[in-house]
Structure formats: C-alpha cells, structure tokens
C-alpha cells in the first residue's frame, strides 16, 4: 500500500508516483506477498527507498541464512547508501555476513565475509566499525580511509604511523631481496644465507589487533621462498659431479678415505663377483717429509696388486706415481696421484679400466683436475656444508654468463655453470 505520513517503517510515495503503472504493479505485488518481485519493480521505477525496506522485510522472513544473504546482496547491489533506508539495508547485510554460520570454521570464508561486511558498513556510514574490520584484516590503507571519513582522528593517526613504518619495512625487504639475489648471482651463497639469518624473526611493525598473528612470522614469504630454494640447491655429503667438455663428467669425493669394493656403499663400486665388499682403501698420509698417496688391502680374498706387486693386507703401501691397481684378476683401476707445490700429494684421479670419466679423490680439498691432462686453474674444497671453488690469481670466469672478478671465490650450488674467460672450458654442477 501507499505510505501515509503516519505509517511507521514505510516511505511516503508522492501522488504522482503512485499513478505510474510500474509503481501500481509494485504495490500489487507487495499486497500479494511477493516482496522480492515488488522490490525489483520499485527499483526499476526509481523508488529505491521503498525497495530497500522491502528487501529488509523479505530477508527477515527467510530462515535459510544463504537465502537471506542473497536477498540482501541483491538489494545492496541496486541501492547505494544515499538514503536512510539504503544505509539500513547495507547495515543489515553487514550484520548478516558477520553472523553467517556457514562461514564458521573456514578461515578463507570468514575473511571474505568480514571483508564484504566492512564494505557494507562503509556504505551504511558506519565508518568506525568498518575501519576496525579492515584493520583486523590487515587492510590498513582501507582502514585509514574509513577512519578519516568517520572523523576517527586518533585511530587514523595510529594507522598512518604503522603504514609509514610498513612502507619503510617493505623498502628494507626489497633491498634485502636485491642483496640476496646479487650475492647468489656472484657465487657468494654463504653471504646470502647470512643475510637471511640476520633478518630472521619478527620484522614488520603491526597494530595491537594484529600482534597475535604477527608473532609467529619469520621472514617475509619472498625471502622464505629464497631460503628454501637455496637450501634445496646445496650440495650434500661432500660429493660433487662436474660436467665439462662434450658429455664428460668428473666426480669429486672428499673425506679421509676412498673405499673401493663390491658394496653399494663404497665410493667406487665394482660389480666383479669375486671381489670383496670392502676390498681396498686409498688414503693420503704423511710419508717421510711429505704426504703420499697410499693403498691398503682390507683383507680381500683375491688380493690387491700395485703394478704387479701384492699389497700386504692391513698395511698401507705408498703409490709413487701413476699406475694400475689390480683387484684380483677381474678388475683394475687406473690411479694418478694429484700433486701440488713441492711435490706434496693432495689426492688422486681414479677410474676403472675402460671407463672414460675420472673420479677425483681430494681428502681435504686441493687443485682441481678433471683428467690427468686437464688441470683447472683453481682449488676446490668442502667447507662447512659449502663446496668452495677458488680461481687462481689473475684468472677470470663467468657464472651463468655473469662476469666475475679475477681470482673470484665461488660457493657452488646445483645447476651452476662456470666458464673460464679466454679458455674453452665450462663447468656445470650436476650433483
């Protein structure tokens, strides 16, 4: 029916409007109890205040919260909060969203409902409440706008202060990301790790309403992702494989001994059935005034022979130079001692007879040889979980095509590709 001056809860329609066909149709639908359709016709006729009240009345008749929300959402989409009735409609939507039982227990739905409620509260002119919800959601710029519109100067100043500090913190985060990426690109992976460790822990200023959630924070997500990536790329177990040339691979083993035998856990596993699981062991040990490469038979059944001379089980035998280490009559290793300055031995190049690729045994690190005739002007060692590659003085290289200074120190990770400048040699870290 048309509202009179004294009818509470109704909007007074002008005489002229009441005569319009669409308004008469809307009134007829209302009298028939078709409140939703009546509201739509009122909206089409431009009578948004009347439509807003009908939406609220219709929503109250619905028992299903989802249906109630649908009615209120449709009404708010068609009615701005420019009239008291429109603001009441948006306020009703906000209250329904905050009480929505279907969102309980689902964090993402709770957050989405709270955000939609904050927007509805803003439209309803409830700026202080809207600001509180924006603030709780971490949407501080929206909270500041709401507090400003609501004249909440004290709250506005607090949020603006935190926003300024957040901006500073994000600038610091961007700079840290830049420094981390630069360190990784230059091969300084230990420094990259130290950068992240230094900035681990609570980092961004927060409002009191966000403190419980922020207390559990460590690094920002971008930095956490970089830390996980770097950790996954580190080389494990003092073992390294370098690809070079046309499909050639040199494996590097560091540690006190190099065990050879039939055991799968040996450093070099040979499949010959008559060999012992632990057959022979290579070490680098003092001998006279310098270190020497030695071989020791571990009590094998078929014996070990150096250039035809049998090794005494349990007694290390110095290997004075390149030669053949025979394991019984079925397997043979080529062994080439790796010497440094003043004739000191650092390890050995070893391979099975007939194989093309070498294994470089360096107990404590040393000069990098890929094959007996290919020496890289660099030293390599395992240091506190990192594989360190030291170029000789005056030698330059590129890492992933990025130039490095002469004599650079690089901490290898998986996938690195290092090329010497002025020499046809590139190394790729395979494993």
- Name the residue with tokens 């590709």: 417
The angle formed by the CA atoms of residues 270, 275 and 277, to the nearest 5 degrees, is 75
Q: Please return the burial class of 32, using the count of CB atoms within 10 Å of its CB with bins 0-12, 13-18 and 19+.
A: exposed
Distance CA 393, CA 406 (A): 6
Give the pLDDT confidence score for residue 17 in this predicted structure.
Answer: 46
Q: Does position 142 have pLDDT exceeding 80, yes or no?
A: yes
Give the pLDDT confidence score for residue 103 in this predicted structure.
Answer: 61
Please answer whether residues 98 and 65 qualify as being in contact, where contact means their C-beta atoms are separated by less than 8 angstroms. no
Closest CA to 331 of 260, 388, 263, 399: 260
Give the pLDDT confidence score for residue 207 in this predicted structure.
Answer: 45
Give the pLDDT confidence score for residue 238 in this predicted structure.
Answer: 78
Q: Does position 332 have pLDDT exceeding 50, yes or no?
A: yes
Top pLDDT among 204 and 289 is at 289
Question: H-helix or E-strand containing 58?
Answer: helix 48-60
Q: Does position 201 have pLDDT exceeding 50, yes or no?
A: yes
CA 286 from centroid of its chain's CA atoms:
47
User: pLDDT by residue (tens digit) across 280-311?
Assistant: 999 998 776 778 899 999 999 999 999 889 99
Q: Please return the burial class of 413, using the count of CB atoms within 10 Å of its CB with bins 0-12, 13-18 and 19+.
A: buried
Query: Per mean pLDDT, which range of 14-28, 297-311, 370-384 is the poorest?
Result: 14-28
Neighbours of 414 (CB within 10 A): 15
Give the pLDDT confidence score for residue 104 in this predicted structure.
Answer: 65
Q: Does position 254 have pLDDT exceeding 90, yes or no?
A: no
- Name the residue with tokens 């790790």: 193
What percent of the chain has pLDDT above 90? 46
DSSP annotation string for 178-189: HHHHHHHHTT-H
User: pLDDT by residue (tens digit) across 60-72?
Assistant: 888 888 888 888 8
What is the helix, strand, coil percentage profile of the chain, to 5? 40, 25, 35
* Bridging pattern class, strands 257-261 and 268-269: parallel
Distance CA 350, CA 286 (A): 20
Give the pLDDT confidence score for residue 105 in this predicted structure.
Answer: 67
Mean pLDDT, all residues of the chain: 84
Give the pLDDT confidence score for residue 216 in this predicted structure.
Answer: 39
Please answer whether residues 95 and 118 qualify as being in contact, where contact means their C-beta atoms are separated by less than 8 angstroms. no
Distance CA 184, CA 414 (A): 12
- Name the residue with tokens 């600038």: 171
7-21, 143-157, 186-200, 210-224, range with greatest mean pLDDT = 143-157
User: Token pair of 133, please?
Assistant: 């919800």
Length of the chain: 431
CA dihedral 134, 140, 144, 149 (to 10 degrees): -30
Query: Per mean pLDDT, which range of 43-52, 154-163, 331-340 is the poorest?
Result: 43-52
Give the pLDDT confidence score for residue 1 in this predicted structure.
Answer: 36
Please answer whether residues 260 and 282 qualify as being in contact, where contact means their C-beta atoms are separated by less than 8 angstroms. yes
Give the pLDDT confidence score for residue 294 in this predicted structure.
Answer: 93
Query: Per mean pLDDT, which range of 4-18, 44-58, 141-155 is the poorest?
Result: 4-18
Q: Does position 15 have pLDDT exceeding 50, yes or no?
A: no
User: pLDDT by residue (tens digit) across 70-124?
Assistant: 888 888 888 888 888 889 999 989 998 888 766 666 788 888 899 999 999 999 9
Q: Does position 214 have pLDDT exceeding 70, yes or no?
A: no
Please answer whether residues 130 and 116 qualify as being in contact, where contact means their C-beta atoms are separated by less than 8 angstroms. no
Residue 378 forms beta bridges with which residues? 391
Give the pLDDT confidence score for residue 127 in this predicted structure.
Answer: 94
pTM, entire model: 0.65
């Amino acid at each position: 029916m048309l509202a009179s001056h004294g009818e509470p809860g109704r909007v007074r329609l002008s005489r002229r409007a009441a005569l319009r066909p669409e308004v008469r149709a809307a009134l007829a639908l209302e009298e028939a109890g078709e409140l939703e359709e009546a509201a739509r016709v009122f909206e089409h006729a431009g009578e948004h205040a009347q439509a807003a009240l009908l939406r609220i009345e219709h929503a109250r008749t619905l028992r299903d919260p989802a249906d109630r929300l649908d009615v209120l959402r449709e009404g708010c989409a068609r009615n701005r909060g420019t009239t008291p009735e429109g603001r009441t409609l948006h306020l009703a939507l906000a209250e329904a969203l905050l009480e929505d039982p279907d969102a309980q227990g689902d964090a993402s739905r709770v957050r989405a409902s709270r955000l939609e409620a904050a927007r509805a509260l803003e439209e309803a002119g409830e700026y202080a409440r809207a600001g509180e919800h924006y603030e709780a959601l971490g949407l501080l710029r929206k909270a500041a706008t709401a507090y400003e519109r609501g004249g909440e100067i004290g709250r506005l100043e607090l949020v603006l202060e935190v926003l300024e500090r957040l901006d500073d913190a994000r600038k610091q985060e961007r700079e840290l990301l830049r420094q981390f990426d630069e360190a990784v690109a230059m091969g300084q992976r230990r420094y990259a790790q130290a950068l992240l460790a230094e900035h681990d822990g609570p980092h961004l200023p927060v409002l009191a309403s966000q403190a419980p959630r922020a207390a559990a924070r460590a690094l920002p997500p971008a930095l956490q992702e970089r830390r996980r990536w770097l950790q996954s790329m580190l080389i494990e177990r003092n073992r390294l494989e370098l690809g070079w040339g046309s499909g050639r691979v040199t494996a590097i083993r560091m540690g006190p001994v190099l065990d050879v035998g039939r055991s799968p856990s040996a450093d070099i596993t040979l499949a010959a059935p008559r060999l012992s699981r632990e057959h022979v062991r290579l070490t680098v040990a003092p001998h006279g005034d310098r270190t020497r490469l030695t071989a020791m038979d571990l009590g094998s059944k078929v014996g070990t022979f150096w250039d035809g001379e049998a090794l005494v089980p349990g007694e290390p035998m110095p290997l004075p130079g390149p030669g053949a280490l025979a394991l019984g009559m079925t397997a043979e290793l080529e062994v080439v001692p790796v010497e440094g300055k003043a004739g000191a031995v650092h390890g050995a190049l070893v391979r099975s007879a007939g194989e093309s690729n070498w294994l470089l045994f360096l107990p404590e690190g040393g000069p990098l040889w890929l094959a007996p005739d290919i020496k890289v002007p660099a030293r390599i060692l395992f240091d506190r979980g990192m594989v360190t590659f030291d170029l000789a003085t005056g030698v330059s290289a590129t890492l992933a095509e990025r130039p490095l200074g002469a004599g650079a120190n690089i901490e290898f990770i998986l996938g690195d590709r290092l090329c010497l400048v002025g020499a046809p040699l590139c190394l790729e870290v395979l494993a």
